[in-house]
Amino acid sequence: MFVIGTAGHVDHGKSTLVEALTGIDPDRLHEEKARGLTIDLGFAWMSLPNGTGVSVVDVPGHERFIANMLAGVGGIDLALLVVAADESVMPQTLEHLAILDLLQVSRGLVAVTKRDLVENELLELVISEVAQTVEGTTLAGSQILPVSVATGEGLDALIAAIATMLTGATPRRNLGRARLPIDRSFAMTGSGTVVTGTLIDGSLSIGDKIIIQPSGMTSRIRGIQTHKSKLKTAPPGTRVAVNLVGISRKEIQRGDVLTTDEFLKPTGAIDINLRMITGAPRNIHHNMLASVHTGSNEFLARVRLLDRQQVGPGESAWAQLKLDRQVVVVKGDYFIIRSGGSTLGGGTIIAVDAARHPRNHGPTIDRLAMLTTGTDASVLLGTIRLREFNPLSQIAWYANMGTCAAVREINTLLESGDVIALGTNVDQATRLVTQVTWADMTTKIRKKLESYHADHPLQKGILREELRSWLGMEHGVYQSVIERLQSDGLLQEEGPKLKLPTHILRLSEPQEALVQKYLDSLTLSPYSPPTNSPLTPDLLSVIVERGLVVKTSGDVVFGCQAYEEMTGKIMKHIHTAGSITIGDVRNMFTTSRKYALALLEYMDDQGLTQRVGDSRILR
């Protein structure tokens, strides 16, 4: 399935030609039929002599409806530039041609309509002027075919030329990520909401769960049609109408994107390579506000030029667009910039969800150039540098590559050591980081642990959460980092703590003597031990971790033997009597309420007992 898009000046016969070729009047609005003027996008279809199905998107030619023209010309496989023989090249001929050139539409034909209205000599002049006009554009060298809808002259030749051109067309690239820029939505009686567009990537099937971006609304596909024929599955490159369940037409607008996964993330800033058209009526200045068109979408954006103060006709520049709202685009998408009712330029989206860059910064410009013209491996490496610790699926999305191709290239980067994978197997969930960033981070963590061990020699290590908070890492990334560091033998886990493998907790002779003296003091009054411990908190933690004492509250510490004896007797008492009170414990061990309460609350915390009113029972 292929899509043809018309282009050309108003009243040059685009819609009439489409109807002659397809038998379908593309003007669907009452106002269009009454005025004889195409206002919005029109749609038709035809079968070529070789049986190939072709969708036709007819665009308005009037300058006031350029925005509508731009919504339909994206995603076409062949451009049909229409020039009237009795008027030749006109302003919108030039503007539409410039737009096709900026969108890199390289396959096209020129139909010189109304051939019956001019003599041969004038027709030859028009053909010569058209040939000169398309020189220097992506349509340079295109066939120019005179036609007359009134007499039928040239229509068969035009159809044959279309078939020949599309025979050599490259199949639509399929990255397996369904993406349908919506150019129309309407309600159909008995069916509900229907959206239309050209499926520029992936496939859609009946029953698929879908997401409308950037709103995030979800729905399900009830039905799919192309050319009024029902489909179970639509392949990429197909012009489709999709029937959605449980969603109102009013909730969807032109420019929204239908997808089947959450890989499409709305963005508010994009990096671009901007190219001005030769005939641009004005320059683009740094921080200028302009209208931007991409896919079927139109939005306002502030143009931040990164390597100059202004860019003029015929010039190129690196820039960033700061958008007035969240939109959905991908790397490699084309865009058009307009201002004051004129097309100024356009180009290619280099990166989405872009961070703010310093201006006139050499490394930033070099990185953008690499992302534009580099090999797949270098583009992936550059993308990882911008998205350190992102999973492979996200890296592939930002680089606009299929997952399988991305895995192949990333394996090469892993072998060369340029990239580190945080995981044993390389799959879509594997987090990736450049070797430089990984080396810097491991050094940072090692120094942090060395400092912590020096400041807290009696601690086994730093709490996992404390280290995560210090690094400022998201939980999923942090877990992957710690697992990789452990597998590399760079740190060890001690319960909830992390330490360097070289860190060994040893007490000095004076500390050992102080500990022993403290333990001896606990045995003198095992059920009412002293609460004025001579040990520092760290030293007390050491003997708690060694299992020599049990700390039941802030200042109540029992020797391990006394604790086991007391809990054993309490559990036995509850088993026999059914419950126990603080008073029972106090009397049982001839101790005070303070110690009895601290012990019972600790047993509650350990899950041995449960408080019911003033008593404890076995949990």
Query: What span, in angstroms and rounded, lies between the C-alpha atoms of 606 and 365?
Result: 60
Confidence of residue 600 (pLDDT cuts 50, 70, 90): very high
Q: How much is the average pLDDT of 559-568?
A: 94
Query: Among all chains, which residue has been given the structure tokens 């879509």?
Result: 428
**Structural domains present in the chain:** 2-167 (3.40.50.300), 179-259 (2.40.30.10), 267-365 (2.40.30.10), 374-506 (1.10.10.10), 509-618 (1.10.10.10)
- Residues 305 and 361: beta-carbon distance below 8 Å: no
The CA angle 295-297-302, to the nearest 5 degrees, is 110
Query: Among all chains, which residue has been given the structure tokens 């049609």?
Result: 225
Query: What span, in angstroms and rounded, lies between the C-alpha atoms of 116 and 264?
Result: 50
User: How does pLDDT run across 318-348, given as a tens digit for each residue?
Assistant: 999 999 999 999 998 999 999 988 999 999 9
- Residues 72 and 196: beta-carbon distance below 8 Å: no
What per-residue confidence (pLDDT) applies to 312? 96
Query: What span, in angstroms and rounded, lies between the C-alpha atoms of 443 and 422?
Result: 17
Query: What span, in angstroms and rounded, lies between the C-alpha atoms of 193 and 229?
Result: 17
Q: How many Cβ atoms from other residues are within 10 Å of residue 573's Cβ?
A: 16
The CA angle 427-431-432, to the nearest 5 degrees, is 105
Amino acid (one-letter) located at 5: G
Q: How much is the average pLDDT of 174-180?
A: 85
Query: What span, in angstroms and rounded, lies between the C-alpha atoms of 518 and 549?
Result: 10
What per-residue confidence (pLDDT) applies to 227? 84
Question: Would the pLDDT of 39 be above 50?
Answer: no
3-state secondary structure 357-419: CCCCCHHHHHHHHHHHHCCHHHHHHHHHHHCCCCEHHHHHHHHCCCHHHHHHHHHHHHHHCCE
Tokens (6 digits) for 240: 């489709």
pTM (2 d.p.) = 0.76
User: How does pLDDT run across 414-460, given as a tens digit for each residue?
Assistant: 999 999 999 777 888 899 999 999 999 999 999 999 999 988 888 88
Amino acid (one-letter) located at 51: G
As a whole number of Å, the CA-based R_g of the chain is 36
Distances (CA, A) of 520 to 257, 507, 523, 526, 589: 75, 18, 5, 10, 19
- Residues 577 and 570: beta-carbon distance below 8 Å: no
What per-residue confidence (pLDDT) applies to 192? 84
User: How does pLDDT run across 275-306, given as a tens digit for each residue?
Assistant: 999 989 999 999 999 999 998 899 999 999 99
**Side-chain-facing half-sphere of 92: CA atoms under 13 Å:** 25
Distances (CA, A) of 212 to 68, 324, 462: 21, 19, 45
**Side-chain-facing half-sphere of 168: CA atoms under 13 Å:** 7
Question: Would the pLDDT of 37 be above 50?
Answer: no
What per-residue confidence (pLDDT) applies to 30? 47
Going by C-alpha positions, the residue among 447, 424, 436, 330 that lies closest to residue 388 is 436
